[in-house]
Amino acid sequence: MDADVIIIGAGIGGLATAALLANAGCSVIVVEKSKRIGGRAACFEKDGFVLDNGIHLSRFALKGKCAEVLREIGITPKFSKFKKILVFQNGKLFPFPKGPISYFRSPFISKNTKIQSLRYLFSVWFKKPSDYENKSVLEALSGYELEENFLDLTRIFLSSSIACPYIEKASIEEVRRFFLHGMKSPFFPVGYLKGGWKKALVLLQSKVLENGKILLGVKVKRLVIENETVKFVETTKGSFSAKCYVSSIPAQDLKSIIELNKLSPEIKNYSKIVEKSCGFSIYMGLSKKFLSLPSSVISKNTHSINGTMILSANPPSMGTIISTIEKRVAPKGKNLLVWFSFVPLEKINDKSFINNQINEVKLVIDNSLRLCFNNQKFNISEFCEWEKVIIHKMVDGAIPKVGQGIKERLDFKCNIKNLFFAGDTTRGDGWGGDIAFDSALKCSKLVKAMLRKGK
């Protein structure tokens, strides 16, 4: 045996599972096909700037799943908070309603819609879960007269909470679960890890290295299975064996390492149909003179860009000058702008659609920042030293649509006795990266129990 556990994939799910197991005294080998750790949450360096994939935020900060994993391995995490969250709509900026009081005061939505949405909330209160469980947000809202602004606000809420801007797809049950989680952390709904996202990866990596190794640039070609048990893994650098195996690659990729017929029909079917989300990120390295521009000080009608997140519905995007939240992501005096936008799955290979959407997002950037700078003639390109666009063919492995909620995702164990699953297409709790972190907590417990049994 080369180790107690072999983990396939060094994304959040794999690294966190390996770190938790190493922390519990199990020897681990992580096999990662790419040359860097992090998977979809990897970080890149450019001219002294540290770029995340999009804007990598932690839902519920200290009460969230990333914090739970870090605490479990003995680290006390700290998060930075956004000072303001604004909505850019029809050429104006509005504060994003933080709760019921600011919602009912918001000038963004008409009085009639506020009454309608209150009626809706009351009606939900008296419903049984079976009345709404299998409905999309749009289906759940049918029968109410709701204006376009309300629907746009709902789209914005959905993309920034459960990471699905499509009201015709997003599951109302997932929204209900988000509200329940949100009640545990109402004043700090989202945070950015102090030290940057890179820090989480480095902390997990160093914990793994205390009791194991990470093989980078090594691809798992096949899991060799006999009598419903994994015997060894064949990789591009030879074969390795262990008592247990964890696959932490997205369910859609399982076919590249396992003969699907060896898995149960449910897993086989899920891996074929699970729907991911897609998008792109725009990064701009901003020159020193950018934040010397006067902003909110000029008039009380303007908004400071410092520590501010801007959200839009058309196109679905969110952006910030992330270096005003965490200084360490940009060289001294400079600033880093990041804007992320969702793209429908069926359009992710359509170059002209994507180019159009990139131009629309750039207009949102220019126009919303202009409002932050008191409408003065403003053009972001004057401050931009470099620009980079990354297309993400997979953002979240399982979009939280009807039929892809927590109960319908991949279980952590399966019909193969010593094979377990982690990552964001499993039944981990939360959305996006939280699922991967939570899957690590749950999967590592099952693996530990199996190793104890075998002793």
User: Would you count residue 11 as binding ligand FAD (CB under 6 A)?
Assistant: yes
Q: Which stretch binds ligand FAD (CB under 6 A): 131-139, 152-160, 344-352, 427-435?
A: 427-435
User: Would you count residue 56 as binding ligand FAD (CB under 6 A)?
Assistant: yes
CA 432 centroid distance within chain: 4
User: Least distance to ligand FAD from the beta carbon of 401, Å?
Assistant: 15
Q: Name the region of 8 (left: φ>0; alpha: ψ -120 to 50; beta: rest).
A: beta
CA 280 centroid distance within chain: 13
Asked whether the beta carbons of 318 and 310 are under 8 A apart, the reply is: yes
User: Least distance to ligand FAD from the beta carbon of 443, Å?
Assistant: 11
User: Would you count residue 438 as binding ligand FAD (CB under 6 A)?
Assistant: no
The DSSP secondary-structure symbol of 262 reads: G
User: Would you count residue 400 as binding ligand FAD (CB under 6 A)?
Assistant: no
Q: Which helix (H) or strand (E) holds 105?
A: helix 100-105
Of 9 and 196, the one with the shorter C-beta distance to ligand FAD is 9
User: Least distance to ligand FAD from the beta carbon of 57, Å?
Assistant: 4
Q: Which stretch binds ligand FAD (CB under 6 A): 115-123, 238-246, 247-255, 413-421?
A: 247-255
How buried is residue 287: exposed, middle or buried, by Cβ count under 10 Å (0-12/13-18/19+)? middle
User: Would you count residue 158 as binding ligand FAD (CB under 6 A)?
Assistant: no
Q: Which stretch binds ligand FAD (CB under 6 A): 81-89, 100-108, 198-206, 251-259?
A: 251-259
Among 78, 176, 213, 219, binds ligand FAD (CB under 6 A): 219
User: Would you count residue 199 as binding ligand FAD (CB under 6 A)?
Assistant: no
Q: Which stretch binds ligand FAD (CB under 6 A): 76-84, 372-380, 394-402, 405-413?
A: 394-402
User: Would you count residue 442 as binding ligand FAD (CB under 6 A)?
Assistant: no
Contacts of 186 (CB under 8 A, 6+ apart): 99
CA 106 centroid distance within chain: 28
The DSSP secondary-structure symbol of 306 reads: T
User: Least distance to ligand FAD from the beta carbon of 64, Å?
Assistant: 8
Size of interface with ligand FAD, in residues (CB under 6 A): 40
Contacts of 421 (CB under 8 A, 6+ apart): 246, 247, 248, 251, 410, 411, 412, 413, 414, 439, 443
b (16+ CB within 10 A) / e for 363-393: ebbebbbbbbbbeeebebeebeeeeeeeebe
- DSSP line for 422-436: -STTBS-SSSTHHHH
User: Would you count residue 165 as binding ligand FAD (CB under 6 A)?
Assistant: no
Stretch 345-374 residues interacting with ligand FAD (CB under 6 A): none
Contact positions vs ligand FAD (CB under 6 A): 8-14, 31-34, 39-41, 53-57, 219-220, 248-250, 253, 256-257, 279, 281, 340, 392, 395-397, 423-424, 432-434, 436
